[in-house]
Structure 1
Amino acid sequence: MSFHQGNPRRSGHSLPFIFIGFALLAATAAAVPAMAQTAGAADDSAAQNSSASHWGLGLAASVERSPYRDYGNKTRVLPLITYDGPRFRLQGTTADLKLGSLSSVDFSLRAKYSGEGYSSGDAAILNGMEDRKSSFWAGGAATWRSPLARISLEWLGDVSGNSSGQTLRLGAERGFSFGKARLTPHLGAAWLSSNYTDYYYGVRQSEATSARRAYSAGSTVNLTAGLRVDYALTASQSLIMDASVTRYGSAISDSPLVDRSSSPALRLGYLYKF
């Protein structure tokens, strides 16, 4: 059953901000000094040209502050499965079919499961709301392995038919190795279509109350900054930590369901590679 409600407004007016953000991300990455040796671009290139397959198994946990009013933290513990082969890559809930490379740019078809959504009993502000479902997404991705940073572009559409939304994400990251540790600062900008934001953060007329006005959300841009740390316990075992903060666009922060403009997140993991 789909909860999608048609939204006649155009969502493309925010796209120029995405490309402005892309330029800022690239400029920021280029300005990072070479504080230590990093094998990021070389490793990616070697993996791309290698015919070997690599598996990884582990466990991941995440704690993220929910944007919804009085919701608290969302905590998840999931098995961590990775695979990187000549034509296929799996990283947690993201799967890529590799299409090949053009110079230093890699292209792939991507499928992803997103654990968003809520049930009406999750928080008092959501009482009486229809449940919003998590979705499967599919689209394409490109990664530029530049000498200064790794720049990624991802477009996805909701193939579950829940929100009928679209997302366009841009990211920049660069890794620095210090002995057994590897530090990777990262920046990201995500454009979310009006169908997406209205499904997860809108309030329909039938759901409006005296404490929760009707609200139709438009498209918006979220910004994220964070730091990932990979620590090699052995040649096959590693610990992973990723701390980040996301600043929500006004279409989300203005929602009567939301009581914050930004949220922190922490992800921890253990991975055994073989």
Structure 2
Amino acid sequence: MLTIRTPFALTLIASLLLSGAVSAQQNAPTAPQGFLYGVGVGINQEIYQGYKRRVIPLPLIGYRGEKLSVYGPFVTYELAKWTDTVLGDIRINAKLAPRFAGFDDSDSDVFAGMAKRKNSLDAGVSIQFQRDQWTLEAETLADALNNSNGQESKLKLSYTLRSGPLQISPEAGISYATSNLVDYYYGVRQNEVTANRAFYEAGSAFNYHLGLAFSTPIFFGGMTRLGVEHHWYDKSISDSPLTDRDTGVSAFLAWSRFF
């Protein structure tokens, strides 16, 4: 059974499935607090050779308090919050997030004879600006387990439209991954070179995405969220001998409810 992961898209899908499932509740004037449960599924179009798509089922157990939010393995703690007359509501958060990435040499023929690339845990901070229906968020996370010794920074802009019980959220984002991070997951080391797999040392990468999400509280007493995103990958990733695409589409469906 294939277990390949595309690091940047899969981490994003998992984050949306877990934390995005309750984002509409978080943005409400009086957001509910307490323990929650739910389920989610994501589908990702892979860019590694030998694998077309991956289905990611995720059970959801979490907690949302005044400052602490736990959605599965994703943890956010609010360090500071204030309101500016121009910028709106400003939040600074500490974050922990798993990086669902890596591969084994048995996952695909293209990885035969390669050393395992491991999943990891990222830690860092984010700052969020929210004014009216607009939300701008920037975050920087680093590999806390020193598997890749890399970092990834993201900037995301979204807009919220409401029509009755339906919330529609278009979104655009850009991420910057350091060379250590990209090379760990897409590079080919000297001792991994074969006749069909050349040496490759990947550099840093800028990746982009556009997305559209729908949220509604009308099903089964909880929050249902459906979304689709299109990703564009840097040449540093698409030029790797391990990949055969430079774009991909991901979709997710999640439902969550407070106990």
TM-score bin, normalised by smaller chain: 0.7 to 0.9
Matched, 1:183 2:163: no
SS in 2 for 1:118: coil
1:112-164 deviation per Cα after TM superposition (whole angstroms, max 9, x unaligned)? 01111111111111111111111100010111012241000110000111100
- Structure 1: distance between partners of 2:149 and 2:167: 38
Matched, 1:59 2:43: no
Cα deviation for residue 41 of structure 1 reads 11
Under a length normalisation based on structure 2, what TM-score does the superposition of the two structures give? 0.84
Cα deviation for residue 235 of structure 1 reads 8.2
Bigger radius of gyration among the two: 1
- Structure 1: distance between partners of 2:34 and 2:173: 27
Letter in 2 for 1:54: G
Matched, 1:144 2:129: yes
Matched, 1:91 2:74: no
1:154-181 deviation per Cα after TM superposition (whole angstroms, max 9, x unaligned)? 1000011110000100101111112222
The 1:82/1:186 distance shift into structure 2, 3 A limit, reads: farther
1:43 to 9, 20, 27: 27
Structure 1 counterpart of 2:157: 172
- Structure 1: distance between partners of 2:162 and 2:102: 37
- Structure 2: distance between partners of 1:178 and 1:240: 15
The 1:84/1:55 distance shift into structure 2, 3 A limit, reads: same
Report the identity percentage. 27
Q: Which runs of 5+ in 2 are unaligned?
A: 1-23, 84-88
- Structure 2: distance between partners of 1:186 and 1:154: 16
Structure 2 counterpart of 1:80: 60
- Structure 2: distance between partners of 1:251 and 1:260: 12
The runs of at least 4 aligned residues of structure 1 exceeding 3 Å deviation read 40-47
Q: Mean alpha-carbon deviation: is it higher for 174-183 or for 247-256?
A: 174-183
Structure 2 counterpart of 1:236: 221
Letter in 1 for 2:95: R
- Structure 2: distance between partners of 1:122 and 1:262: 21
- Structure 1: distance between partners of 2:101 and 2:65: 29
- Structure 2: distance between partners of 1:83 and 1:152: 22
Contact 1:53-1:85 at 8 Å conserved across structures: yes
SS in 1 for 2:255: strand
The 1:146/1:41 distance shift into structure 2, 3 A limit, reads: farther
Q: Mean alpha-carbon deviation: is it higher for 95-104 or for 249-258?
A: 95-104
* Structure (1/2) with the larger strand percentage: 2
Letter in 2 for 1:255: S
Q: Mean alpha-carbon deviation: is it higher for 140-149 or for 191-200?
A: 140-149
1:198-225 deviation per Cα after TM superposition (whole angstroms, max 9, x unaligned)? 0000000100111110000000100011
Q: Which runs of 5+ in 1 are unaligned?
A: 1-39
Letter in 2 for 1:67: I
Under a length normalisation based on structure 1, what TM-score does the superposition of the two structures give? 0.79
- Structure 1: distance between partners of 2:184 and 2:26: 41
Cα deviation for residue 192 of structure 1 reads 0.1
